[in-house]
Structure 1
Amino acid sequence: MIKKFLVGIIALVLFNSAFANDSTKVALKTFSAENQHPVLYQLIGQILNTYHYRKVTIDDKLSSTLFDNFIENLDPAKVYFLKQDMDKLEAYRYQLDDDLMKGNVDKAFEIYNLYQTRLYDRIQYTFDLLNQDFDFSKKDSFEIDREHAQWVKSQKEYDALWLRKTKSEALQLKADGKDQKTYTDILRKRYYNLLKQLAKTKNEDVFSFFANSLTEIADPHTNYFSPRAAEDFATSMSLSLEGIGATLQTENEYTKIREVVKGGPADRSKQIFANDKIVAVAQGKDGEMVSVLDWRLDDVVGLIRGKKGTIVRLEIISADAINNKSKIIEIVRDKIVLEDQGAKKSIKVVERNGKKFRVGVIVLPTFYMDVAALQAGNKNYKSTTRDVKKLIEELKQDSSGPIDALVIDLRNNGGGSLQEAVELTGLFIKKGPVVAVKDHFGITKAEEDRDESITWDGPMTVLVNRFSASASEIFAAAIQDYDRGLVIGEKTYGKGTVQNLLDLNSFVEIDGKKLGQLKLTIAKFYRISGGSTQFKGVIPDIEFPSIYSDKEFGEEASEFALPYDEIAPQNYSSLNRAKTNLAALKMSHQARMDSSAGYRFLIEDIANVKESRARKYITLNETQYKAEMEIGEKKKKDREAQKAKLKELHQEEGNLILDESIQLLLDTQK
């Protein structure tokens, strides 16, 4: 299913009424543009056309794409709009570019008002459905992957679709042990809470939703922040390491885990992973679960965030869940301090052919620099390069003996400071270019290491995975291009772009109102060998298979991501240190994997996850549903038992890749 990642809020329906506890009937408000919206919309179009790296062309092609994207963002599963609606709206397909030039957003609000009417109607219909008994003995199913579904053509088809949808929600609760009264009460409360949630939407939210449908066409990292969203964004940046330690995003009706922060409460729980979906949130050990389906992202974040030491409970649907079965996870909120995100070292002692080798391992969760301490004149300010250099010196002078080789572990490192990526590379090369940056004017500038000193000149490898992005990719690519060390692991994320945050009030003033901000992609990163890290990412020299496919996670998963391309290589010389015998290294690697129980487990895990994700339907037959759940639960318990054995043998996935990287290092020492 195509994944839609909008930064900010998913604006839905606004109801112009206070909600009484027993009321589900409210008056709808008609949304309309406010004074600033036409000028603001026109300004965003001009900025995208002039300053975005892609220099977005405003024409009929853009109009058609914007039309499709706006509709898909509103109704990705095709459960709200009818075919007759789409036939009517089709007249606007090639008019949105002209409206953009003029600053006319009337059609966007008209489309949204129709959407809210349909959504409100479906919520009321769901309340009616919950007054009847559901028959779970029939052989029927609900289509959960509706990417290729058609718009419904009749009221009968419309109602039948929503009956199946509601039955699927009820059956999941019933199979979890809830009786009829309990599961209908839960669903009523879920939709009632949705009504209350929807009441918070304003004209500003509708405009923001439409504006982001435009900006993400430029690329997925270009986003409009309304004044309120801009404040939330600033807060999230300063508090990004508080709460549970996870980055969230919206996908269809769900709030999804985009990234788990290394060392944070979510990471330490070992129960929350990227692509898991949050369906409900509760406070404390006994607080009531509140459904967050179709909630605005900022409100979900507000529920999850809280004081350090307090408990939040999350109802999660794992990425590999059978029939969308959920589980409850309890997390103690915490604050991730800089020390938790700092580089850490360890030493692995490995014996081969009667000789012991000492391999240093440095785990680097992010590329950081304590700018505040630096500006305050603190000579001991923390930074990636300073900390790693210190750790390497300690490893070289360890009381049990110096290390023979070094592993830099960048798995799950989402990036950070470009300067630190350049300077860190300089610890392993004499001097030279590290990365090239090409701006929207077409001007290319190389970022270079000019310090001729080398901190570590011995054998080294770099570990990466699908969550290694941006600055991590710059460092890994430079080590690979210089042939300074092997890059081992999974293909990386592919985020090779640079963004700048623009205050829109600096362009125009409208009645003294705050206009918000535009996060704009203005440049791309290029390897010194000429290829961009954007989209393609870094392909490891020794590649491990990943649970996350290119089309599900990473830059390639975005329909509008900037493409891979190449520029002229920089002037540099290969060190010819790591890949001279790459073919032989791959053979020895494969031989070890063929006999590795941990590797077989990894391959089986990937196959199981792919099978689960490939399911397009959920059965509505209770007997069949329970049978599938029993099979799934047994399979899960068997896998957990196998995983426990692998842990005893030190062959679980994380150790498997690290241990194999060490073996490959030793292969190079023959």
Structure 2
Amino acid sequence: MKLKLLWLALVFALATTAQAASLVSGMPPPPPELKPAQQQTQAAHLVAGLLTRYHYKAMPLDNAMSEKIFDHYLKALDSEKIFFVQSDIDQLTGFRTQLDDAILKEDLAAPFVIFNLYAQRVSARFAYARSLLSEGFDFQQKESYQYEREKETWPKSEIEMREVWRKRVKNDWLRLKLAGKDDKSIAETLNKRYNNSQKRISQVTSNDAFQTFMNAYTMAIEPHTNYMGPRTAEEFDIAMKLSLVGIGAVLAEKDDYTTIRELVPGGPAALSGQLKIGDRILGVAQGEHGVMMDIVGWRLDDTVALIRGAADSTVLLDVLPAGAGPDDKHQLVSLIRKKITLEEQSAKKSVLSVKEGNISRRIGVISLPGFYEDVEARQQGDVHFKSASRDVARLLGELKKEKVDAVLVDLRNNGGGSLSEAIELTGLFIGRGPVVQTRNAQGNVAVEGDNNVSVAWKGPLGVLINRSSASASEIFAAAIQDYGRGLVIGEPSFGKGTVQTMIDLDQIAKNDKPVFGELKLTIAQFFRVNGGTTQLRGVAPDIGFPAVTDVEDFGESSFDNALPWMQVKAASYSPAGNLKSLQPILLARHEARAKSDKDFLCLQEDIARFRLQSGKHLVSLNEAERRKEREDQEARQASCAAGSEAGMNAQGKVVGRKPAPGNNKPFRDDGLQADERNLATELAAENANKNAKDVLLNEAVHILGDEVGLLKPGSRFAASISPGAPLHPD
């Protein structure tokens, strides 16, 4: 009875908030009151059964777990504490020990009440933000804005919360002002931004609420177990196999329009010649004579789902050409859906040259964004199935024909993927032998390795990693290091030493259609062949680069419920070589270059400034102070001729890059969000970044060039060097 009264009180509070928010002029409709669907309550119960029985760290679903779920749910909804106030949290506290019952009794009313309150608060906060735009701000005051609030307490009152938002809006305004915008355009830009945020929260669905709640449950156990609704599971599958059935166009949302951002070469959209970048899709119909659905203002994922379909089926698009006005002539474009391979996300190669005196050495670089594998195509016997190891093997063959002296595998920002692909990729460099050990929940340890005796590349090898290199990337890097097969260069890796499997919930429930989704379940922990694990500690590089992130803020060790580090017995393996004798010399040469290389010195300064600023979590709201900071930053950038700006890293800029020749303009913060920029300008900036000089990659290539030079004359086998062997510099 007490819980029922709490729900009624919260429902009344939601209605009151929605009524007040609707008074704001021009505000989008309030968020809908979401309710759980029957299939969601059933899916939740099924997930609970799997988690409590088969998870590597199986834990009962009881009141103690309910409290953990509650805390993770609030963090998922409002990690920065900018929506809920303390009185909201006090009201919701009655649910702390009720969420286990909500799952087990198949009554998800409680988590949906929490989500509905969150949605109403989000809408109200942005409505308040919009109301501030007509008042203007005094930028002569000495005050600051705290842009990271995760470790703060909840605002105690609405007055305190409004002060948080006043400073947030003031900072948004100041960034645009410093970028040269006038007050009128600033107010228009921010009003549109906040209005779009209100619109997005009004478009949330019960699937959004359910997936958020279920992930609060799964991640309360450990960080890498996740629930995926049907649509999210489909996207995950596409990312793993790097293919989909569609028209071959990358879409983006711009001003309520679904806009063509990129055309995939060889896809139906590109081959038709009827579509171009910047075109806007206004409607979609299934078949030549299907009913045209008006999609203006739709969520992008809903539009994408409508455009995709079965192979060889027809989709009809109502298109407004790029540059045309809303009332200009439309164009009907009919396309046949085909299988699209996402080559942009596949492994790629390049060849870089380094000079030492009169000697030039060619280093082949293979960039691998992920360990992808089309499992379904492989099981069906498709000889052309897509996989990371197959692509890398092909690229190695090409590099050998190009007579490179060494190969560098770039795994920066590679978050992992298929375990079997990590094993097969390792086999390309070591041949037959154990690669990784896995330990299941019962404590049984299995050794997994590659059985292919042939080696695709026997020459000098390097592996470049950073803090975002995780899971399968760490398996590969650790094996190469343990075998003495190559040098690991860069930052310590992420530290994810767990193995997950995908469970199709609809398959278990024997559902005809995908309605339950999938569960990514942690079932084992993996260990290096030397018996150690990458869990928490990651892979330590043989030659380290400056660390951009703090291990306390990013990586496995930043999670409070990560599995502990442990060790098992070493596997029986034979090292391919020993590079220990080379490392001191290579390190000394690297350090000498780092002290004299202008780009590297600027990079180190960037990182130091970024970490200092990020540690403060504060920015000044005084215009004179901010303008002086901006001028100092731009002057330093111009001096370094560096394209990356440390203070902008939190907004997605790439560390360690320098503009391509002829583009020495420093990055200027324009105060805009990604969807607010002109599409042509955005694409040009991305292209410039792709062509920018990569300082860290270049130094890694130099290190491998040094290694080649230290080998015996005529030798191309770095792994053949033994401890104490004489060195023969060129």
TM-score by length of 2: 0.69
> What is aligned with 1:82?
85
Pick from 333, 340, 346 the counterpart of residue 341 of structure 1.
Answer: 346
**Which amino acid letter does the alignment assign opposite residue 655 of structure 1?**
N
Contact kept, 8 Å, 1:16 with 1:26, in 2: the verdict is: no
Q: 2:523 aligns to what SS in structure 1?
A: strand
Contact kept, 8 Å, 1:438 with 1:523, in 2: the verdict is: yes
Using a 3 Å threshold, how does the CA distance of structure 1 residues 422 and 25 change in structure 2: closer, same or farther?
Answer: closer
Give the deviation of 1:655 after TM superposition.
Answer: 0.8
Residues 1:536 and 2:537 are matched in the alignment: yes
Q: Kindly, what percent of the aligned residue pairs are identical?
A: 39
**Which amino acid letter does the alignment assign opposite residue 573 of structure 1?**
S
Using a 3 Å threshold, how does the CA distance of structure 1 residues 302 and 16 change in structure 2: closer, same or farther?
Answer: farther
> What is aligned with 2:177?
174
Using a 3 Å threshold, how does the CA distance of structure 1 residues 611 and 646 change in structure 2: closer, same or farther?
Answer: farther
> What is aligned with 2:704?
661
Give CA-to-partner distance per residue, 1:436-484, whole Å, 9 cap, x none. Answer: 2333444332222333344544443333333433333222211211122
Give the deviation of 1:607 after TM superposition.
Answer: 1.0
> What is aligned with 1:198?
201
Q: 1:461 aligns to what SS in structure 2?
A: strand
Contact kept, 8 Å, 1:481 with 1:528, in 2: the verdict is: yes
Using a 3 Å threshold, how does the CA distance of structure 1 residues 662 and 356 change in structure 2: closer, same or farther?
Answer: closer
Name the CA distance, whole Å, in 2 between partners of 1:245 and 1:365: 21
Residues 1:113 and 2:116 are matched in the alignment: yes
Map 1:254-273; keep pairs closer than 5 Å: none
Pick from 183, 188, 199 the counterpart of residue 185 of structure 1.
Answer: 188
**Which amino acid letter does the alignment assign opposite residue 531 of structure 2?**
G
Using a 3 Å threshold, how does the CA distance of structure 1 residues 489 and 162 change in structure 2: closer, same or farther?
Answer: closer
Give the deviation of 1:528 after TM superposition.
Answer: 0.7
Name the CA distance, whole Å, in 2 between partners of 1:296 and 1:568: 51
Name the CA distance, whole Å, in 2 between partners of 1:336 and 1:510: 29
Using a 3 Å threshold, how does the CA distance of structure 1 residues 445 and 162 change in structure 2: closer, same or farther?
Answer: same
Residues 1:153 and 2:156 are matched in the alignment: yes
Give the deviation of 1:417 after TM superposition.
Answer: 4.1
> What is aligned with 2:640?
639
Give CA-to-partner distance per residue, 1:49-71, whole Å, 9 cap, x none. Answer: 11222213334442222222111
Map 1:309-320; keep pairs closer than 5 Å: none
Contact kept, 8 Å, 1:434 with 1:449, in 2: the verdict is: yes
Residues 1:162 and 2:205 are matched in the alignment: no
Give CA-to-partner distance per residue, 1:103-145, whole Å, 9 cap, x none. Answer: 4433322323333343343333334333334333322222212
Residues 1:44 and 2:44 are matched in the alignment: no
CA RMSD of aligned residues (A): 4.5
Pick from 61, 71, 74 the counterpart of residue 71 of structure 1.
Answer: 74
> What is aligned with 2:61?
58
Using a 3 Å threshold, how does the CA distance of structure 1 residues 450 and 34 change in structure 2: closer, same or farther?
Answer: closer
Using a 3 Å threshold, how does the CA distance of structure 1 residues 237 and 243 change in structure 2: closer, same or farther?
Answer: farther
Name the CA distance, whole Å, in 2 between partners of 1:369 and 1:547: 30
> What is aligned with 2:503?
502
Contact kept, 8 Å, 1:37 with 1:207, in 2: the verdict is: yes
**Which amino acid letter does the alignment assign opposite residue 35 of structure 1?**
Q
Using a 3 Å threshold, how does the CA distance of structure 1 residues 72 and 396 change in structure 2: closer, same or farther?
Answer: closer
Residues 1:652 and 2:695 are matched in the alignment: yes
Name the CA distance, whole Å, in 2 between partners of 1:237 and 1:311: 33
Q: 2:436 aligns to what SS in structure 1?
A: strand
Give the deviation of 1:527 after TM superposition.
Answer: 1.1
Of structures 1 and 2, the one scoring higher in RCO (CA 8 A, sep 6+) is 1
Q: Number of residues paired by the alignment?
A: 591
Name the CA distance, whole Å, in 1 between partners of 2:526 and 2:119: 42
Deviates more, 1:67-76 or 1:443-452: 443-452
Using a 3 Å threshold, how does the CA distance of structure 1 residues 187 and 572 change in structure 2: closer, same or farther?
Answer: same
> What is aligned with 2:574?
573
Q: 2:430 aligns to what SS in structure 1?
A: coil
Contact kept, 8 Å, 1:74 with 1:115, in 2: the verdict is: yes
> What is aligned with 1:486?
487
Name the CA distance, whole Å, in 2 between partners of 1:633 and 1:162: 29
**Which amino acid letter does the alignment assign opposite residue 654 of structure 1?**
L
Using a 3 Å threshold, how does the CA distance of structure 1 residues 227 and 581 change in structure 2: closer, same or farther?
Answer: closer
Using a 3 Å threshold, how does the CA distance of structure 1 residues 443 and 23 change in structure 2: closer, same or farther?
Answer: same
Residues 1:284 and 2:287 are matched in the alignment: no
Deviates more, 1:586-595 or 1:427-436: 586-595
Using a 3 Å threshold, how does the CA distance of structure 1 residues 43 and 404 change in structure 2: closer, same or farther?
Answer: closer
Using a 3 Å threshold, how does the CA distance of structure 1 residues 426 and 137 change in structure 2: closer, same or farther?
Answer: closer
Name the CA distance, whole Å, in 2 between partners of 1:62 and 1:577: 48
Deviates more, 1:445-454 or 1:477-486: 445-454
Name the CA distance, whole Å, in 2 between partners of 1:101 and 1:466: 38
Q: 1:529 aligns to what SS in structure 2?
A: coil
> What is aligned with 1:424?
425
**Which amino acid letter does the alignment assign opposite residue 695 of structure 2?**
E
> What is aligned with 1:328?
none
Give CA-to-partner distance per residue, 1:466-503, whole Å, 9 cap, x none. Answer: 34333332222112111222222222233333333323
Using a 3 Å threshold, how does the CA distance of structure 1 residues 29 and 139 change in structure 2: closer, same or farther?
Answer: same
Name the CA distance, whole Å, in 2 between partners of 1:511 and 1:367: 31
Name the CA distance, whole Å, in 1 between partners of 2:460 and 2:600: 25
Name the CA distance, whole Å, in 2 between partners of 1:300 and 1:557: 36
Contact kept, 8 Å, 1:460 with 1:665, in 2: the verdict is: no
Give the deviation of 1:434 after TM superposition.
Answer: 1.1
Name the CA distance, whole Å, in 1 between partners of 2:377 and 2:31: 52
Give the deviation of 1:44 after TM superposition.
Answer: 2.0
Q: 1:421 aligns to what SS in structure 2?
A: helix
**Which amino acid letter does the alignment assign opposite residue 151 of structure 1?**
W
Give CA-to-partner distance per residue, 1:41-99, whole Å, 9 cap, x none. Answer: 33222221112222133344422222221112222222222222223333433443444
Q: 1:424 aligns to what SS in structure 2?
A: helix
Using a 3 Å threshold, how does the CA distance of structure 1 residues 664 and 548 change in structure 2: closer, same or farther?
Answer: farther
Contact kept, 8 Å, 1:348 with 1:361, in 2: the verdict is: no
Using a 3 Å threshold, how does the CA distance of structure 1 residues 635 and 240 change in structure 2: closer, same or farther?
Answer: farther
> What is aligned with 2:618?
617
Contact kept, 8 Å, 2:413 with 2:468, in 1: the verdict is: yes
Deviates more, 1:20-29 or 1:485-494: 20-29
Using a 3 Å threshold, how does the CA distance of structure 1 residues 212 and 124 change in structure 2: closer, same or farther?
Answer: same
**Which amino acid letter does the alignment assign opposite residue 485 of structure 1?**
G
Deviates more, 1:383-392 or 1:211-220: 383-392
Give the deviation of 1:560 after TM superposition.
Answer: 4.2
> What is aligned with 1:597?
598
Name the CA distance, whole Å, in 2 between partners of 1:549 and 1:245: 34
**Which amino acid letter does the alignment assign opposite residue 616 of structure 1?**
H
Name the CA distance, whole Å, in 1 between partners of 2:110 and 2:700: 53
Q: 1:540 aligns to what SS in structure 2?
A: coil
Contact kept, 8 Å, 2:416 with 2:473, in 1: the verdict is: yes
Give the deviation of 1:606 after TM superposition.
Answer: 1.1
Using a 3 Å threshold, how does the CA distance of structure 1 residues 351 and 373 change in structure 2: closer, same or farther?
Answer: farther
Give the deviation of 1:604 after TM superposition.
Answer: 1.2
Using a 3 Å threshold, how does the CA distance of structure 1 residues 184 and 58 change in structure 2: closer, same or farther?
Answer: same
Structure 2, unpaired ranges of 5+: 1-13, 253-263, 266-276, 282-297, 309-316, 324-339, 644-656, 663-692, 713-726
Contact kept, 8 Å, 2:415 with 2:470, in 1: the verdict is: yes
